Chains A and B, each alone.
Chain A
Amino acid sequence: GESVGLHLPTLSVQEGDNSIINCAYSNSASDYFIWYKQESGKGPQFIIDIRSNMDKRQGQRVTVLLNKTVKHLSLQIAATQPGDSAVYFCAEVNTGNQFYFGTGTSLTVIP
């Protein structure tokens, strides 16, 4: 089966610092990756995605980096704010349109 794992289950950062959340995936044939944010009591919310033909994509305060050589994905959040506190999931999608989610990293922003 597929395996998407996160290196750190919890992460605490000071407000204003940058956050980096890491994710390892196992299927080298996966061609699409997505980061989701889930706040307490809510459904996951799409943050940013990246295709396997790219190694970097930027959004508003977020950057996703993809290293296909080591099958590693990261989400960088610039100037982390208290509203960024949530659980973050990476997901890989293979060529059969099957989604596999990681176990999540809980980000806590310390004011």
Chain B
Amino acid sequence: DTAVSQTPKYLVTQMGNDKSIKCEQNLGHDTMYWYKQDSKKFLKIMFSYNNKELIINETVPNRFSPKSPDKAHLNLHINSLELGDSAVYFCASSQLAGVGEQFFGPGTRLTVL
């Protein structure tokens, strides 16, 4: 069973489009995260949700909107995609916020043309 899953794995789209990435964890964790990894492998946290409540919102354009319908899901919607949004997006989860092991998903490679 996959602990943290993301769909799609690859996403190629045109500038200006709106797209969503879905994430699900079956670990029963309370906290979920979204990270962005650029072409130089730099990994930056974007959002963190604890029990469906937003607890971390780093300096991210408001074109990015996370949504957590329940604590097992954290989806990322991106409006008006820009070239600079091209990156690999990772979802992760942990039992507690900010402490202990984080389990990462396989990543979604977003390419904006």
Residues of chain A whose beta carbon lies under 8 Å from any beta carbon of chain B: 32, 34, 38, 41-46, 49, 87, 89, 93, 97-101, 103-104
Which residues of chain B have C-beta atoms less than 8 A from A87's C-beta?
Answer: 41
The complex places the Cα of A49 from the Cα of B97 at a distance, in Å, of: 15
**Does B56 lie at the interface of the complex (its beta carbon under 8 Å from any beta carbon of A)?**
yes
**Inter-subunit contact B43/A93 (CB<8 Å):** no
**What is the predominant secondary structure among interface residues of chain A facing chain B?**
strand
**Inter-subunit contact B105/A43 (CB<8 Å):** yes
Q: How large is the interface on B (under 10, 10 to 19, 20 to 34, 35 or more residues)?
A: 20 to 34
**Inter-subunit contact B101/A104 (CB<8 Å):** no
Which residues of chain A have C-beta atoms less than 8 A from B40's C-beta?
Answer: 103
**Inter-subunit contact A32/B99 (CB<8 Å):** yes
**Inter-subunit contact B100/A44 (CB<8 Å):** no
**Inter-subunit contact A97/B102 (CB<8 Å):** no
Which residues of chain A have C-beta atoms less than 8 A from B99's C-beta?
Answer: 32, 93, 97
Q: Contact check: which of B4, B41, B102 meets A103 at CB < 8 Å?
A: B41
Given contact pairs A43-B90, A46-B103, A99-B33, a sample of 8 additional A-B residue pairs in the complex whose CB atoms are under 8 Å apart? A43-B104, A43-B106, A44-B90, A45-B104, A46-B101, A97-B48, A98-B58, A104-B42
